[in-house]
Amino acid sequence: MSDEKISETKINIINAAKKEFLENGYKDASLRHICKNAGVTTGALYFFFKNKEELLDTILGPLIDGYKKLVRSLFTKDGSGESQNGDSMMIEYLYKNREAAIILIDCCRGTKYETLLGTIYSGMKHGFESMFRAGGIDDVDGKLVEILASMKMKGYLNLLKSDYGTCELKKIAQSLGAYWDSGFFALVNVLKKK
Amino acid sequence: MSDEKISETKINIINAAKKEFLENGYKDASLRHICKNAGVTTGALYFFFKNKEELLDTILGPLIDGYKKLVRSLFTKDGSGESQNGDSMMIEYLYKNREAAIILIDCCRGTKYETLLGTIYSGMKHGFESMFRAGGIDDVDGKLVEILASMKMKGYLNLLKSDYGTCELKKIAQSLGAYWDSGFFALVNVLKKK
Amino acid sequence: MSDEKISETKINIINAAKKEFLENGYKDASLRHICKNAGVTTGALYFFFKNKEELLDTILGPLIDGYKKLVRSLFTKDGSGESQNGDSMMIEYLYKNREAAIILIDCCRGTKYETLLGTIYSGMKHGFESMFRAGGIDDVDGKLVEILASMKMKGYLNLLKSDYGTCELKKIAQSLGAYWDSGFFALVNVLKKK
Amino acid sequence: MSDEKISETKINIINAAKKEFLENGYKDASLRHICKNAGVTTGALYFFFKNKEELLDTILGPLIDGYKKLVRSLFTKDGSGESQNGDSMMIEYLYKNREAAIILIDCCRGTKYETLLGTIYSGMKHGFESMFRAGGIDDVDGKLVEILASMKMKGYLNLLKSDYGTCELKKIAQSLGAYWDSGFFALVNVLKKK
DNA sequence: AATGAATGAGGTTTCATTCAT
DNA sequence: TATGAATGAAACCTCATTCAT
């Protein structure tokens, strides 16, 4: 449908960059290595990308655009933004863009994307807090919420790193959902007794 | 008992190194910054440490020795190595050596300690697998186990990063224990039905 | 008379190059910037010009041809080449080709045109020397002459950088002429006393 | 008297840098060339200087400090700051620091020192304007003043580039002084008639 | 007539490391 | 013990230039 032809070289560079970012993180990724693996010289890279950061932007941009769109659509459907169904849609979406998603979550230390990740964490924490309130707990420890959020994110991350087919992925995601839900309700009960 | 007096300079270097490793990770840590913050020159650092790696070894060595000792003692007491009591002892131990523990878990990308971490993960996974077997599930998905282990480790890590007192730490650890246990049993039930 | 139609693209490139040379000097001028500002790609530039140097040649060539012609005509009219009238004709000529003239005088550090500038300086110095001889001074210090010449050239240069209309320009040029002449004769008197 | 020993290597680097700056200007100066000519590697340069700019600062700093001190002392002695005596003291001072002075005046395009040069030009222009007022001309053309100032500065610059002894320098400076003064008064007369 | 892609050298800077003293 | 000096490789990036189309 689209008649934009993306240069093969550019694709090679992007793929080599993805690999390098995944292996070493953004900061420790070497443009030289990327170019060598892509079979081009440094100058070629700089024909397609203004600098290292724009290379990262090119990889993460589409992922983030889609993510924002998905979040918006989830929020307009139901006010919570933290429904179980939303979770599964999110997982499916991220899984379709696995490499970029892993880079965003796990390989962006020290970049501007840390801020975005922080925002996402905030959203997750708000979700947990409203669930705690729904369970009758108003003064939940902030650090505990943070731990829960980070664990959930870590779960997502490792799910992305796996090689499941879409079907098996759903099963695992459901298993994880059961784990999280039961764990959460147990936690609520423990906290209520105090 | 020991009459080895550790030079104050060495201590300064180690402390500066811990801070730098925590902030930037091992690879992005700059020996120059460490030396500057320690108030010494590079030559001094290289008098005490053969190279950057040995500096990391010095920081992580005691932690790892103690860890191995603790694991051995837990295994000789009861065969599982994954008892609730073992968990809490482990948390307490790591919390006593928080800085080194965080460095080991979170700041060693690309170093030989990734292997050790892998071993620790293996241990955790074996623990989970034996618990699954005890719950009547023999063929649990390896990747699922890995996700559970990584989430638990992430929980530990964030616990270590907090600033709880020993007393509060226990409470949080218990809460997390409840979360993990309930989640786990729910998971067993889900998997049994299949 | 001539039926050579100069391509619009070529003109755009030349204009963009003039601007860039004026702002940054020849050496620090970037062909990329020039092309970007001209709205073409590097390939287009290299279709019209063999290299960066030829681009400069194209800009300075006509100026220099005209300059040589003017000098010849001045020399054939009267032998001095340094008459007041010659000065004013020269100023007018350069003012008509201001951009190129400024580039030649002020933006060619490290290029072959430094040699030409040197030749021009030599001409000016010969003029001064013959004026000194006419004033009865045969052994004037060469360095002093050089300073006088460089100052005069700097005066020209700043005149070119101004935005005077032709009429006002003449007034200023006359003022400067008075300055130079009076200064020169005072100088002759000082030197005679020694 | 002073017991600060400046490393020989540092001196070599500074000398090589001065030469390179003088020949190519600051921007086109190559640190690689400087290091090669100083007989060291790039790393050595960065032991002594934070970056290219600091290398320039080190060369120009003392010159500028002395310049400011001299200006202050001239202003406190007599209010004008533009006396003939001040001129000659300034020339002598600059001549003692010729290389740095030439670099400051002629090799700093595009650096922060352009601002300082601008300030110096402003001072010169103010001096000219007050002289014009003293001569009965209140509305002198700003551009004309600028041309006069730039010519004077160019005279200084070429004086600095010469190889006179202190004694001969004074003579030349006096000759130039006569040139400038007579020129100036002639100019005043021309402007009065209008 | 002009584009878009690619090269390779060189730019400034940071790094871990070494070594004479 | 520790300093200060120096190395050389590698980092990101820009440049003038070339070439197939």
Which of B28, B154, B161 should we substitute to test contact with A (largest number of A Cβ atoms within 10 Å)? Answer: B154
DSSP state of D78: S
The answer to whether D183 contacts C185, with C-beta atoms less than 8 Å apart, is: no
Q: Is the pLDDT of residue C79 over 70?
A: no
Residue A2, pLDDT score: 40
Residue C58, pLDDT score: 97
CB neighbours (10 Å) of residue B121? 16
The answer to whether B183 contacts A179, with C-beta atoms less than 8 Å apart, is: yes
Residue C3, pLDDT score: 43
Among A22-36, B80-94, C89-103, C119-133, the minimum mean pLDDT is found in: B80-94
| Amino acid code (one letter) for D102 | I
Q: Is the pLDDT of residue B99 over 80?
A: yes
Query: Which nucleotide is closest, CA of B50 to its C1'?
Result: E17
Residue B77, pLDDT score: 67
The answer to whether B146 contacts A164, with C-beta atoms less than 8 Å apart, is: no
Q: Are A144 and A191 in contact (CB under 8 A)?
A: no
Residue ranges of chain D whose pLDDT lies below 50: 1-3, 81
Tally of CA atoms within 13 A in the half-sphere of C68 that contains its CB = 8
Residues whose CB is less than 8 angstroms from the CB of residue B143 and which lie 6 or more positions away in sequence, other chains included = A158, A162, A164, A172
DSSP letters, chain C, are ----PPPHHHHHHHHHHHHHHHHHHHHH--HHHHHHHHT--HHHHHHH-SSHHHHHHHHHHHHHHHHHHHHHHHHHHSS-S--HHHHHHHHHHHHHTHHHHHHHHHS-TTSTHHHHHHHHHHHHHHHHHHHHHHTT-SS--HHHHHHHHHHHHHHHHHHHHS---HHHHHHHHHHHHHHHHHHHHHHHHHHHH-
CA distance linking residue B180 with residue A133, whole number of Å? 21
Residues of D in contact with C165 (CB under 8 A): none
Residue A4, pLDDT score: 60
Which of D153, D168, D175 should we substitute to test contact with C (largest number of C Cβ atoms within 10 Å)? Answer: D175
Q: At what angle do helices B52-77 and B113-134 cross, to 10 degrees?
A: 20
Q: Which two tokens stand for residue D35?
A: 């290091």
Residue A81, pLDDT score: 45
Mean pLDDT of the region B93-115: 95
CA distance linking residue A67 with residue A94, whole number of Å? 8
Residue B180, pLDDT score: 96
pLDDT level of residue C170 (50, 70, 90 thresholds)? confident
CA distance linking residue D1 with residue C173, whole number of Å? 55
Give chain F positions with protein CB within 7 A: 1-20
Nearest by CB to residue A187, choosing from B24, B150, B178, is B178
Quick one: what percent of chain D has pLDDT higher than 70? 93
pLDDT level of residue A153 (50, 70, 90 thresholds)? very high
Residue D1, pLDDT score: 40
Do chain B and A touch: 3 or more Cβ pairs under 8 angstroms? yes
pLDDT level of residue C167 (50, 70, 90 thresholds)? confident
CA distance linking residue D5 with residue C50, whole number of Å? 53
Residues of D in contact with C158 (CB under 8 A): 143, 146-147, 150-151
**Dihedral angle at the C-alpha atoms of C110, C111, C113, C118, nearest 10 degrees?**
30
Q: Are C159 and C95 in contact (CB under 8 A)?
A: yes
Residue C2, pLDDT score: 44
Q: Is the pLDDT of residue A78 over 80?
A: no
Q: Scanning the structure block, which residue is given the tokens 């005596």?
A: D85
Q: Is the pLDDT of residue B3 over 80?
A: no
Give D113-154 pLDDT, tens digit per residue: 999 999 999 999 999 999 999 999 999 999 999 999 999 999
pLDDT level of residue A5 (50, 70, 90 thresholds)? confident
pLDDT level of residue C193 (50, 70, 90 thresholds)? confident
Q: Are D177 and D113 in contact (CB under 8 A)?
A: no
pLDDT level of residue B4 (50, 70, 90 thresholds)? low
Give chain E positions with protein CB within 7 A: 1-20
- The whole-chain average pLDDT of chain B stands at 91
Quick one: what percent of chain B has pLDDT higher than 70? 93
Q: Is the pLDDT of residue A77 over 80?
A: no
Greater pLDDT, B143 or C3: B143
Residues of B in contact with A24 (CB under 8 A): 27, 109-110
Query: In terms of DSSP H, where are the helices of A78-165?
Result: 84-96, 98-106, 113-134, 142-161
Give A128-152 pLDDT, tens digit per residue: 999 999 999 999 999 999 999 999 9
Do chain B and D touch: 3 or more Cβ pairs under 8 angstroms? no
Q: Is A27 helix (H, G, I), strand (E, B) or coil?
A: helix
Residue A179, min C-alpha distance to chain B (Å): 4
Q: At what angle do helices A98-106 and A52-77 cross, to 10 degrees?
A: 100
pLDDT level of residue C4 (50, 70, 90 thresholds)? low
CA C165 centroid distance within chain: 19
Residue C120, pLDDT score: 92
Q: At what angle do helices C52-77 and C98-106 cross, to 10 degrees?
A: 100
Quick one: what percent of chain C has pLDDT higher than 70? 93
Chain B positions with Cβ closer than 8 Å to A: 24-25, 27-28, 109-110, 141, 143-144, 146-148, 150-155, 157-159, 162, 164, 172, 174-176, 178-187, 189-191
